[in-house]
Chain A
Amino acid sequence: MMNPLKIAKQDARLYMSFMYVTFASLLVGGLMGLLQTLARSGKFTLPFNINYYTILTVHGVILGLVLTTFFIIGFQFALMGKTVGISDKQRKAGWWAFWLMLVGTVMAAVTILVGQANVLYTFYAPLRAHPAFYIGLALVIVGSWVAVFTNFRQLYVWKKANKGQKSPLLAFMVVINMAMWFIASLGVAASVLIQFIPWSLGYAETINVLLSRTLFWYFGHPLVYFWLLPAYMAWYAIIPKIIGGKLFSDSLARMSFILLLMFSIPVGFHHQLTEPGIDPTWKFIQVVLTFMVVIPTLMTAFSIFATFETTGRRLGHKGLFGWFKHLPWKDVRFLAPFIGMVAFIPGGAGGIVNASHQMNSLIHNTIWVTGHFHLTVATTVILTYFGIAYWLVPHLTGRRLTPRLNKLGIIQSIIWTVGMTIMSTAMHIEGLLGGPRRSNFSTYAGGDQVQSWIGYQMAQAVGGTILFIGIVLMVYIFIQLAFFAPRGVEEFPIAEEEVDAEPTPKLLENWYLWIGITIALILFAYTIPVFDILKHSPPGSVPFDWPIGRY
């Protein structure tokens, strides 16, 4: 294992820039979330005649697309800088990535805020937003590609300088995640550039709706793994260090990332199970491929438990579960991600329900789905990101996570847990009772069933309010860590291998093989259905502006 490098000041500035955008997004997006839950309670009307779907679009785009992408790219740059290093040229490229993404974000955000893009973060055709929205999104993606190729280059340069050595685990994981992101975002980029932009500008009269949705979900499922893998990086390679243990298995960690890469993309149809126009056979095949994710997921769970148990037993804890006691519950760098791991148990179980065709019909487009991904992305992923930020931000700014800030962090984690348990549980139940997602409060002309939803919507408003308090506290902690905490050195924790660890098979670094299999699986799962879509599509759709309040 190589010794980690030191992060220079000018590199830290680049990584921190991504963090500023992350936490600014958290505040803006969180406020929208609060407003949504209040509006849906039926007791509160949005001020200034604001359209519910404007704030919902801001919420989804800013939290789901912007916050996540900025955090991930900043964190991954820091991991690469720490493990394989960054050159002046690569840092410059990093700044290009940052500015392209920021300009794109601002363009898209302003377009949404002025009410010209109430299309929600999935921007389904034939709703048509102002072209600036799509162009902004395209810039974010292109900016992220600059980061992709910079990260690839960083590992390549390191490999050349360290012939025959295996790459540092975290750098390997970053490259897997970026490879996945690149392959996946080609789909959405194609849709935005070839379909949406010309159509929104009026150069193309119609759009192939089914094709655009298929290309979106070709990207949309790997998108959620793109959020999750950085959390896994922390679970595999950082948390063991924080709890005073060692990496459980380098090979297992790499294999699980490879499996996640292979099974992340050829599965988008599980979001389109109710879609007419796709042959059920292909839906079935993609659902089977979806379920393969159980393997790397349980490998991850096994590895995490094993790290906990090995470390605990080394410290002399006995009994079947005695080792649970040794875990550093008072260290927020551990506690926040740990809560994230726990949330992933119901989150993952719910995901398996969602992906099962019959049961999907039970919950499709209900608020259950929203409850599901507020457990996965808005708890598992985000609490792990917070857990990373508690040490990464002070490490980069040359400050310390003081006992007081640590304590505030613990309070933050608890607030989040309470708020999300209330909100997400209420969403799950309301969804099973048929309550729709993506919809403002409505009594639906007094339908009976609606009565059964209202109590749960009130509960969501209570949970949402608690969550928003948690967001304000988190932003306060971030500002403290970035600007005011006492100067000092905060550790960048990276777990080491056991002294007697078995060597990692070289095969695991055979990029041609793994990317080759990934592409083969994609071609297998998508070629025929896409060909069918192109060949048998009904006439395309003209744009619709009025349903989203554009005239």
Chain B
Amino acid sequence: MAKSTKQQLEPQHNPSINLKGTLIAVMLLGVFILATWFGCYYLFLSR
């Protein structure tokens, strides 16, 4: 595909695109990481 056509297109965002699941999944990932860290930190403090 020629590059020029791509640049002419206005970046048109598909309004139907829905990334709610992604947002929640990444949040859960963050929570898991924090839980692991604090779990080990607690173990460290308690020893």
Whether the Cβ atoms of A306 and B19 lie closer than 8 Å is: yes
Chain A hits for B12, CB < 8 A: 500
User: Whole-angstrom distance from the CB of B45 to the nearest CB of chain A?
Assistant: 9
Given A305-B25, A309-B21, A502-B11: A432 touches B43 (CB 8 Å cut-off): yes
For window 1-37 of B, CB contacts with A under 8 Å fall at 1, 3, 6-7, 9, 11-14, 16-22, 24-26, 29-30, 32-33, 36-37
On chain B, the residues within 8 Å of A432 by CB distance are 43
The answer, among A320, A346, A352, A500, for a CB contact under 8 Å with B20, is A320
Instruction: With A323-B21, A503-B7 as known contacts, state yes or no: A362 contacts B26, CB within 8 Å.
Output: no
- Expressed in whole angstroms, the minimum distance between the Cβ of A292 and any Cβ of chain B is 15
Taking CB atoms, residues of chain A closer than 8 Å to B30 are: 298
Complex contact A320–B22 (CB within 8 A): no
Q: Is B26 touching A301 in the complex (CB atoms < 8 A)?
A: yes
**Does A501 belong to the interface (CB within 8 Å)?**
yes
Beta-carbon contact of B21 and A346 below 8 Å: no
Whether the pair B47, A362 counts as a contact (CB closer than 8 A) is: yes
Distance in angstroms between the alpha carbons of A350 and B1 in the assembled complex: 43
Output the nearest chain A residue to B47 by Cβ-Cβ distance.
A362
* Given A1-B1, A306-B22, A500:B11 Cβ within 8 A: yes
From DSSP, what is the main secondary structure of chain A's interface residues?
helix
Could you say which residues of chain B place their CB within 8 Å of the CB of A352?
A: 33, 36-37
Q: Which A153-187 residues have C-beta < 8 A from chain B?
A: 164-166
**Closest chain A CB from B28 CB (angstroms):** 10
Q: How many A-B residue contacts, CB cutoff 8 Å?
A: 77
CB atoms of B21 and A358 under 8 A apart: no
A349 adjacent to B33 (CB under 8 Å): yes
Find chain B residues with CB under 8 A from A309 CB: 18-19, 21-22
Q: Does A528 contact B (CB under 8 A)?
A: no
Most chain A CB inside 10 Å of its own CB: which residue of B6, B20, B24:
B6
> A484 on the interface (CB 8 Å rule)?
no
CA distance A306 to B33 in the complex (A): 20
Chain B CB within 8 A of A302 CB = yes
The answer, yes or no, to whether A348 is at the interface (CB within 8 Å) is yes
Residues of chain A lying within 8 A (CB to CB) of residue B16 = 313
- What string of 1s and 0s marks CB contacts (under 8 Å) between A290-334 and chain B? 000000001001100110111001000000110100000000000
A352 to B13, CA, bound (A): 36
> Which B residues are CB-close (under 8 A) to A166?
3
| Contact (Cβ within 8 A) A349 B36 | yes
Task: Report yes or no: B7 in contact with A353, Cβ–Cβ below 8 A.
Answer: no
In the bound complex, residues from chain A placing their C-beta under 8 Å from that of B11 are: 500-502
Q: What is the 8 Å Cβ interface bit string for chain A, positions 218-260, against chain B (1 contact, 0 not)?
A: 0000000000000000000000000000000000000000000
How many angstroms from the CA of A301 to the CA of B33 in the assembled complex? 13
Judged by a CB distance under 8 angstroms, whether A28 is at the interface is: no
A301 CA to B16 CA, complexed, in Å: 22
CB distance from A486 to the nearest CB of B (A): 34
Q: Does A534 sit within 8 A of B, measured CB to CB?
A: no
Would you mind naming 26 contact pairs between A and B with Cβ atoms under 8 Å apart? A164-B3, A298-B30, A301-B26, A305-B21, A305-B22, A306-B19, A309-B18, A313-B16, A313-B17, A321-B21, A321-B25, A323-B21, A345-B29, A345-B32, A352-B33, A352-B36, A358-B41, A358-B44, A359-B44, A362-B40, A362-B44, A362-B47, A500-B11, A500-B13, A500-B14, A501-B6
